[in-house]
Amino acid sequence: HIVGHSLGGQMAGIIGREVYRRNGKTKKLPRLSALDPAFPLFYGTFSYHLSKHDAEFVDVIHTDAWIYGAPVSTGTADFWPNGGTTLQPGCPKRNYKLLSDNDLSSHRRSWWFWAESVKKEFPHQFYAVKAKNWADFKNGKYVDNEEQRVVMGHDCPTNITGDYYLQTNGIQPYARDIAGITYVHPAKLVGNSTTENEGVEPSKT
């Protein structure tokens, strides 16, 4: 199981493809987890980026789509906490100082989520539900039952496919457990003092 953030997420895909090639294209790595895999220079007509074919199961957590993170569904299962875009709850408004802590807050939030799912320091989990897009999630247009609920992060089941949505808090614990699959106004999220980004819906192609 290889886990990588940003450029490391894209490197995980490269490693997966190389392992597959060296095994005579008969055996893949069992799992790759990409945390907001890098967007710049990796997505375009002639670009080669992380894909669901790079391992038996590829799960992706998007938190800064269209800025530093991939704007498209690129795994077997893609998770879009808080819509997957900037600003993530609790992150400061960007001051446009490139690569500053302020600028990278949403991009880094993906690995904070992952770390919390690994440490299990808090009792709540990152429950998510499958939906067509963020707008449908916000409007409750999804099937909500125990079979449709999955966990984002380390304990993500490896038999799922598609796009999954949830909301998180703006401070630890980030996970909201079952409450995270019911949309609430961002101002009601614990630790969030920023306003929600109602920007471009990430592409699912």
Is residue 123 situated within a structural domain? yes
Handedness of CA 195, 196, 199, 203 (dihedral sign): positive
Copy the structure tokens of residue 117.
């799912």
Read off the tokens for 55.
């391992």
Q: Is residue 198 part of a domain?
A: no
The DSSP secondary structure of 45-81, one letter per residue, reads TT-----GGGSSEEEEE-SSBTTTB--B--SSEEEEE
pLDDT in tens, 3-42: 999 999 999 999 999 999 999 999 999 999 999 999 988 8
121 assigned to some structural domain: yes
- The residues carrying an active-site annotation are 6, 36, 107
Is 13 domain-assigned? yes
Range of the domain at 44: 2-188
The confidence score (pLDDT) of residue 97 equals: 80
Q: What is the CATH number of the domain that holds 54?
A: 3.40.50.1820
Flag whether 195 is in a domain: no
Please report whether residue 94 resides in a domain: yes
Say how many domains are in the chain: 1
CB 96 within 8 A of CB 86: no
Q: What is the pLDDT along the chain (205 residues), one digit of tens a residue?
A: 999 999 999 999 999 999 999 999 999 999 999 999 999 888 775 568 999 999 999 999 999 999 999 999 999 999 999 999 999 999 998 776 888 888 899 999 999 999 999 998 888 999 999 999 999 999 999 987 777 799 999 999 999 999 999 999 999 999 999 999 999 999 999 998 755 554 345 555 4
pLDDT of amino acid 205: 45
